[in-house]
A and B are shown apart, each in its own frame.
Chain A
Amino acid sequence: MEQTKWFERKFDFGFTQNIFPSIIGRLRETPARLEEKVKTISDDLAVAKPNGSWSIKENIGHLIDLEPLWVGRLEDILNRKTDLRTADLSNTKTTEANHNQRSLTDLLGEFRSIRNITIKKLDQLSEKQIYWSALHPRLKTPMRTMDHFLFVAEHDDHHLVTIHNLIQNHNR
Protein backbone atom coordinates (compact mmCIF):
# COMPACT_ATOMS: atom_id res chain seq x y z
CA MET A 1 0.00 0.00 0.00
CA GLU A 2 1.12 3.56 -0.72
CA GLN A 3 2.01 5.48 2.40
CA THR A 4 2.14 9.18 3.05
CA LYS A 5 5.57 10.70 2.46
CA TRP A 6 7.02 12.67 5.38
CA PHE A 7 7.14 16.01 3.58
CA GLU A 8 3.54 15.52 2.44
CA ARG A 9 2.20 14.87 5.94
CA LYS A 10 -0.57 17.15 7.16
CA PHE A 11 -0.61 18.01 10.84
CA ASP A 12 -3.51 19.21 12.93
CA PHE A 13 -2.19 21.40 15.71
CA GLY A 14 -5.61 22.76 16.57
CA PHE A 15 -6.27 20.56 19.59
CA THR A 16 -6.39 22.32 22.93
CA GLN A 17 -6.44 19.45 25.40
CA ASN A 18 -3.26 18.54 27.23
CA ILE A 19 -2.18 15.22 25.76
CA PHE A 20 1.48 15.83 26.52
CA PRO A 21 1.80 12.81 28.88
CA SER A 22 0.80 10.49 26.02
CA ILE A 23 3.26 12.19 23.68
CA ILE A 24 6.10 11.88 26.19
CA GLY A 25 5.18 8.20 26.59
CA ARG A 26 5.48 7.63 22.85
CA LEU A 27 8.84 9.40 22.69
CA ARG A 28 10.20 7.62 25.75
CA GLU A 29 9.46 4.22 24.29
CA THR A 30 10.69 4.65 20.72
CA PRO A 31 14.06 3.13 21.70
CA ALA A 32 12.30 -0.04 22.95
CA ARG A 33 10.26 -0.33 19.75
CA LEU A 34 13.35 0.21 17.64
CA GLU A 35 15.41 -2.35 19.55
CA GLU A 36 12.61 -4.92 19.26
CA LYS A 37 12.30 -4.34 15.54
CA VAL A 38 15.95 -4.92 14.68
CA LYS A 39 16.92 -7.49 17.30
CA THR A 40 17.09 -10.43 14.90
CA ILE A 41 18.18 -8.83 11.64
CA SER A 42 21.36 -9.88 9.88
CA ASP A 43 24.40 -7.64 9.48
CA ASP A 44 23.82 -7.61 5.71
CA LEU A 45 20.27 -6.38 6.10
CA ALA A 46 21.30 -3.71 8.60
CA VAL A 47 23.51 -2.00 6.01
CA ALA A 48 21.54 -2.79 2.83
CA LYS A 49 20.55 0.25 0.75
CA PRO A 50 17.91 -0.94 -1.72
CA ASN A 51 17.61 1.50 -4.64
CA GLY A 52 20.08 3.79 -2.91
CA SER A 53 17.76 4.44 0.05
CA TRP A 54 19.01 4.78 3.59
CA SER A 55 19.86 1.52 5.32
CA ILE A 56 18.36 0.47 8.64
CA LYS A 57 21.49 1.71 10.42
CA GLU A 58 21.21 5.05 8.60
CA ASN A 59 17.57 5.40 9.61
CA ILE A 60 18.55 4.90 13.25
CA GLY A 61 21.51 7.22 12.80
CA HIS A 62 19.16 9.84 11.35
CA LEU A 63 17.05 9.74 14.52
CA ILE A 64 20.24 10.35 16.51
CA ASP A 65 21.28 13.16 14.15
CA LEU A 66 17.97 14.97 14.54
CA GLU A 67 17.68 14.83 18.33
CA PRO A 68 19.78 18.02 18.82
CA LEU A 69 17.42 19.82 16.42
CA TRP A 70 14.37 18.71 18.41
CA VAL A 71 15.97 19.85 21.67
CA GLY A 72 17.19 23.06 20.04
CA ARG A 73 13.66 23.86 18.94
CA LEU A 74 12.45 23.26 22.48
CA GLU A 75 15.03 25.81 23.61
CA ASP A 76 13.75 28.23 20.94
CA ILE A 77 10.21 27.94 22.34
CA LEU A 78 11.34 28.23 25.95
CA ASN A 79 13.46 31.29 25.05
CA ARG A 80 10.32 32.81 23.47
CA LYS A 81 11.88 33.06 19.97
CA THR A 82 9.38 33.92 17.23
CA ASP A 83 10.73 31.24 14.85
CA LEU A 84 12.01 27.76 15.36
CA ARG A 85 15.48 27.09 14.02
CA THR A 86 15.64 25.60 10.52
CA ALA A 87 16.45 22.01 9.69
CA ASP A 88 18.88 20.88 7.01
CA LEU A 89 16.26 19.45 4.67
CA SER A 90 18.90 17.69 2.59
CA ASN A 91 19.95 15.67 5.67
CA THR A 92 23.64 16.17 4.98
CA LYS A 93 24.56 15.09 8.50
CA THR A 94 23.04 11.65 8.02
CA THR A 95 24.34 11.20 4.50
CA GLU A 96 27.91 12.01 5.53
CA ALA A 97 27.96 10.31 8.94
CA ASN A 98 28.88 6.83 7.76
CA HIS A 99 26.40 5.23 10.13
CA ASN A 100 26.84 1.93 8.29
CA GLN A 101 30.32 1.68 9.76
CA ARG A 102 28.95 1.54 13.31
CA SER A 103 27.47 -1.47 15.08
CA LEU A 104 23.72 -1.67 15.62
CA THR A 105 24.30 -1.97 19.37
CA ASP A 106 26.28 1.23 19.35
CA LEU A 107 23.65 3.13 17.34
CA LEU A 108 20.75 1.86 19.45
CA GLY A 109 22.62 2.66 22.65
CA GLU A 110 23.34 6.21 21.53
CA PHE A 111 19.76 6.78 20.48
CA ARG A 112 18.42 5.48 23.79
CA SER A 113 20.87 7.64 25.69
CA ILE A 114 20.21 10.85 23.72
CA ARG A 115 16.42 10.31 23.84
CA ASN A 116 16.54 9.81 27.62
CA ILE A 117 18.20 13.21 27.97
CA THR A 118 15.37 14.77 25.94
CA ILE A 119 12.73 13.04 28.06
CA LYS A 120 14.30 14.38 31.26
CA LYS A 121 13.92 17.90 29.86
CA LEU A 122 10.30 17.28 28.90
CA ASP A 123 9.46 15.84 32.32
CA GLN A 124 10.48 19.15 33.88
CA LEU A 125 8.24 21.41 31.78
CA SER A 126 5.35 23.25 33.37
CA GLU A 127 1.87 23.04 31.87
CA LYS A 128 2.21 26.68 30.82
CA GLN A 129 5.39 25.94 28.85
CA ILE A 130 3.68 23.11 26.99
CA TYR A 131 1.40 25.70 25.38
CA TRP A 132 4.14 28.22 24.44
CA SER A 133 4.81 28.33 20.69
CA ALA A 134 7.05 29.50 17.85
CA LEU A 135 6.68 29.42 14.08
CA HIS A 136 7.76 26.26 12.25
CA PRO A 137 10.01 27.35 9.36
CA ARG A 138 8.79 24.83 6.74
CA LEU A 139 5.17 24.35 7.74
CA LYS A 140 4.72 28.10 8.37
CA THR A 141 2.47 27.38 11.30
CA PRO A 142 2.81 28.16 15.01
CA MET A 143 3.93 25.10 16.91
CA ARG A 144 3.46 24.73 20.63
CA THR A 145 5.85 22.59 22.65
CA MET A 146 3.15 19.92 22.62
CA ASP A 147 2.76 20.16 18.83
CA HIS A 148 6.50 20.08 18.29
CA PHE A 149 6.92 16.85 20.21
CA LEU A 150 3.87 15.29 18.59
CA PHE A 151 5.67 16.08 15.32
CA VAL A 152 8.78 14.31 16.68
CA ALA A 153 6.74 11.25 17.76
CA GLU A 154 5.24 11.09 14.27
CA HIS A 155 8.71 11.43 12.76
CA ASP A 156 9.89 8.50 14.91
CA ASP A 157 6.96 6.44 13.61
CA HIS A 158 7.79 7.39 10.05
CA HIS A 159 11.27 5.90 10.41
CA LEU A 160 9.99 2.85 12.30
CA VAL A 161 7.71 2.13 9.34
CA THR A 162 10.60 2.68 6.92
CA ILE A 163 12.70 0.16 8.86
CA HIS A 164 9.73 -2.23 8.99
CA ASN A 165 9.43 -2.02 5.19
CA LEU A 166 13.15 -2.61 4.69
CA ILE A 167 12.87 -5.80 6.76
CA GLN A 168 9.67 -6.97 5.06
CA ASN A 169 10.98 -6.36 1.54
CA HIS A 170 14.23 -8.13 2.35
CA ASN A 171 12.38 -11.19 3.68
CA ARG A 172 10.08 -11.54 0.66
Chain B
Amino acid sequence: MPWFERNLKFGYPKEMLPFFLERLEGTIIRIEQKVKGVDDKILSVKLNGKWSIKENIGHLAEVDGVANKRIDEMVNGAAMMSPAVFEPQDYSAWPIAKVIELFKKNRLSNIKKYNAIKEDDLLKSSQHPRLKAMMTPVDLAWFDAEHDDHHLVKINEILTQASGR
Protein backbone atom coordinates (compact mmCIF):
# COMPACT_ATOMS: atom_id res chain seq x y z
CA MET B 1 0.00 0.00 0.00
CA PRO B 2 1.38 3.46 -0.89
CA TRP B 3 2.45 5.35 2.22
CA PHE B 4 0.47 8.45 1.29
CA GLU B 5 -2.73 6.38 1.27
CA ARG B 6 -2.34 5.14 4.86
CA ASN B 7 -5.14 6.20 7.19
CA LEU B 8 -3.47 7.34 10.38
CA LYS B 9 -5.01 8.24 13.72
CA PHE B 10 -3.17 10.26 16.33
CA GLY B 11 -3.72 11.20 19.96
CA TYR B 12 -1.46 8.72 21.70
CA PRO B 13 -0.93 9.20 25.46
CA LYS B 14 2.54 10.33 26.49
CA GLU B 15 3.00 7.08 28.41
CA MET B 16 3.25 5.28 25.05
CA LEU B 17 6.43 7.12 24.01
CA PRO B 18 8.88 4.52 25.45
CA PHE B 19 7.32 1.84 23.23
CA PHE B 20 7.57 3.97 20.10
CA LEU B 21 11.18 4.88 20.87
CA GLU B 22 11.94 1.21 21.28
CA ARG B 23 10.59 0.60 17.80
CA LEU B 24 12.55 3.52 16.35
CA GLU B 25 15.77 2.25 17.89
CA GLY B 26 15.02 -1.30 16.79
CA THR B 27 14.92 -0.22 13.16
CA ILE B 28 18.71 0.17 13.21
CA ILE B 29 19.43 -3.50 13.93
CA ARG B 30 16.55 -4.58 11.66
CA ILE B 31 18.21 -2.77 8.75
CA GLU B 32 21.69 -3.98 9.65
CA GLN B 33 20.50 -7.59 9.75
CA LYS B 34 18.63 -7.28 6.47
CA VAL B 35 21.60 -6.01 4.46
CA LYS B 36 24.27 -8.11 6.15
CA GLY B 37 26.15 -10.15 3.55
CA VAL B 38 23.98 -8.90 0.68
CA ASP B 39 25.81 -8.18 -2.58
CA ASP B 40 26.32 -4.48 -3.29
CA LYS B 41 24.64 -4.89 -6.69
CA ILE B 42 21.43 -5.96 -4.98
CA LEU B 43 21.68 -3.12 -2.46
CA SER B 44 22.04 -0.59 -5.30
CA VAL B 45 19.61 -2.00 -7.88
CA LYS B 46 16.54 0.08 -8.80
CA LEU B 47 13.92 -2.50 -9.70
CA ASN B 48 11.39 -1.05 -12.17
CA GLY B 49 13.01 2.36 -11.67
CA LYS B 50 12.01 2.44 -7.99
CA TRP B 51 14.26 3.29 -5.05
CA SER B 52 17.10 0.90 -4.30
CA ILE B 53 17.61 -0.56 -0.83
CA LYS B 54 20.27 2.09 -0.15
CA GLU B 55 17.87 4.81 -1.27
CA ASN B 56 15.17 3.50 1.05
CA ILE B 57 17.61 3.67 3.97
CA GLY B 58 18.89 7.10 2.90
CA HIS B 59 15.29 8.29 2.76
CA LEU B 60 14.72 7.20 6.36
CA ALA B 61 17.80 9.19 7.36
CA GLU B 62 16.41 12.28 5.61
CA VAL B 63 13.01 11.84 7.21
CA ASP B 64 14.75 11.79 10.58
CA GLY B 65 16.34 15.12 9.70
CA VAL B 66 12.84 16.52 9.12
CA ALA B 67 11.53 14.92 12.32
CA ASN B 68 14.36 16.46 14.31
CA LYS B 69 13.26 19.91 13.20
CA ARG B 70 9.58 19.11 13.75
CA ILE B 71 10.15 17.98 17.33
CA ASP B 72 11.64 21.40 18.09
CA GLU B 73 8.72 23.12 16.36
CA MET B 74 6.14 21.25 18.41
CA VAL B 75 7.94 21.88 21.69
CA ASN B 76 8.32 25.56 20.78
CA GLY B 77 4.61 25.88 20.07
CA ALA B 78 4.65 26.33 16.29
CA ALA B 79 1.15 26.27 14.78
CA MET B 80 2.33 24.19 11.84
CA MET B 81 5.33 21.99 11.31
CA SER B 82 7.74 22.54 8.44
CA PRO B 83 7.03 20.69 5.21
CA ALA B 84 9.14 17.66 4.43
CA VAL B 85 11.81 19.01 2.11
CA PHE B 86 14.45 16.51 1.11
CA GLU B 87 17.83 16.82 -0.54
CA PRO B 88 18.38 13.26 -1.71
CA GLN B 89 21.93 12.13 -2.41
CA ASP B 90 22.96 9.42 -4.83
CA TYR B 91 22.83 6.86 -2.05
CA SER B 92 23.08 3.94 -4.47
CA ALA B 93 26.66 4.99 -5.21
CA TRP B 94 27.58 5.08 -1.52
CA PRO B 95 28.99 2.08 0.35
CA ILE B 96 26.19 0.53 2.40
CA ALA B 97 28.13 1.16 5.64
CA LYS B 98 28.07 4.90 4.92
CA VAL B 99 24.30 4.94 4.28
CA ILE B 100 23.64 3.01 7.48
CA GLU B 101 26.01 5.25 9.43
CA LEU B 102 24.05 8.33 8.31
CA PHE B 103 20.76 6.71 9.26
CA LYS B 104 22.10 5.56 12.62
CA LYS B 105 23.51 9.01 13.43
CA ASN B 106 20.21 10.76 12.65
CA ARG B 107 18.12 8.14 14.42
CA LEU B 108 20.15 8.16 17.62
CA SER B 109 20.11 11.96 17.62
CA ASN B 110 16.30 11.93 17.41
CA ILE B 111 15.94 9.35 20.17
CA LYS B 112 18.19 11.48 22.38
CA LYS B 113 16.04 14.50 21.61
CA TYR B 114 12.79 12.64 22.37
CA ASN B 115 14.20 11.43 25.68
CA ALA B 116 15.13 15.00 26.66
CA ILE B 117 11.61 16.41 26.15
CA LYS B 118 9.93 17.50 29.39
CA GLU B 119 6.75 15.54 30.15
CA ASP B 120 4.52 18.60 29.78
CA ASP B 121 6.01 19.37 26.38
CA LEU B 122 4.99 15.91 25.16
CA LEU B 123 1.41 17.20 25.21
CA LYS B 124 2.14 20.13 22.89
CA SER B 125 0.98 19.77 19.32
CA SER B 126 1.42 21.34 15.89
CA GLN B 127 -0.34 20.70 12.62
CA HIS B 128 1.21 18.31 10.13
CA PRO B 129 1.43 20.22 6.83
CA ARG B 130 0.31 17.36 4.56
CA LEU B 131 -2.08 15.47 6.80
CA LYS B 132 -3.60 18.63 8.30
CA ALA B 133 -3.78 16.77 11.61
CA MET B 134 -2.54 17.91 15.00
CA MET B 135 0.38 15.85 16.21
CA THR B 136 2.33 15.70 19.46
CA PRO B 137 5.93 14.47 19.66
CA VAL B 138 4.48 11.11 20.80
CA ASP B 139 2.33 10.91 17.66
CA LEU B 140 5.34 11.81 15.51
CA ALA B 141 7.37 8.99 17.06
CA TRP B 142 4.58 6.51 16.24
CA PHE B 143 4.17 7.96 12.75
CA ASP B 144 7.88 7.52 12.05
CA ALA B 145 7.88 3.98 13.46
CA GLU B 146 5.05 3.09 11.06
CA HIS B 147 6.93 4.81 8.25
CA ASP B 148 10.04 2.75 9.08
CA ASP B 149 7.96 -0.43 8.83
CA HIS B 150 6.66 0.65 5.44
CA HIS B 151 10.19 0.99 4.07
CA LEU B 152 11.41 -2.18 5.75
CA VAL B 153 8.68 -4.01 3.83
CA LYS B 154 9.90 -2.33 0.64
CA ILE B 155 13.46 -3.45 1.39
CA ASN B 156 12.24 -7.01 1.94
CA GLU B 157 10.42 -6.95 -1.38
CA ILE B 158 13.58 -5.84 -3.19
CA LEU B 159 15.64 -8.51 -1.44
CA THR B 160 13.12 -11.17 -2.39
CA GLN B 161 12.86 -10.09 -6.02
CA ALA B 162 16.49 -9.22 -6.69
CA SER B 163 18.05 -12.20 -4.99
CA GLY B 164 15.41 -14.66 -6.09
CA ARG B 165 14.84 -15.70 -2.44
Enumerate chain A interface residues (CB-CB to B < 8 A).
Answer: 1-4, 12, 15-19, 21-22, 25-26, 29, 32-33, 36, 154, 157-158, 160-161, 164-165
Contacts and interface: CB of A to CB of B under 8 A. Distances in A.
24 contacts: A1-B17, A1-B18, A3-B16, A4-B15, A4-B16, A15-B9, A16-B7, A17-B6, A19-B1, A21-B153, A22-B153, A25-B149, A25-B156, A32-B29, A33-B30, A36-B26, A154-B19, A157-B22, A158-B19, A160-B22, A161-B18, A161-B19, A161-B22, A164-B18
A164 B22 contact: yes
A32 B33 contact: yes
Per DSSP, chain B at the interface is helix
Interface string B1-30: 100011101000111111100110010011
Contact of B9 (A12, A22, A32, A158): A12
A-B CB proximity, top 5 nearest: A22-B149, A33-B26, A36-B29, A4-B15, A29-B30
A33 B22 CA distance: 9
A18 B1 CA distance: 8
Contacts of B119: 1
Given A4-B13, A25-B153, A33-B26, A15 B19 contact: no
Given A32-B30, A33-B26, A160-B22, A3 B1 contact: no
B144 interface: no
Interface of B: 1, 5-7, 9, 13-19, 22-23, 26, 29-30, 33, 119, 146, 149-150, 152-153, 156
Given A21-B156, A29-B26, 8 more contacts: A1-B18, A18-B1, A19-B6, A22-B150, A25-B30, A29-B152, A36-B29, A161-B18
Contacts of B18: 1, 3, 161, 164-165
Contacts, number: 66
**For B5, B15, B146, B150, which residue has the most chain A Cβ atoms within 10 angstroms?**
B15
B79 to A, nearest CB: 26
Contacts of A154: 19
Given A4-B13, A36-B29, A25 B152 contact: yes
A33 B29 contact: yes
A29 B15 CA distance: 24
B23 A157 contact: yes
Given A29-B33, A157-B22, A160-B26, A17 B15 contact: no
Nearest to B34: A29
A3 B115 CA distance: 13
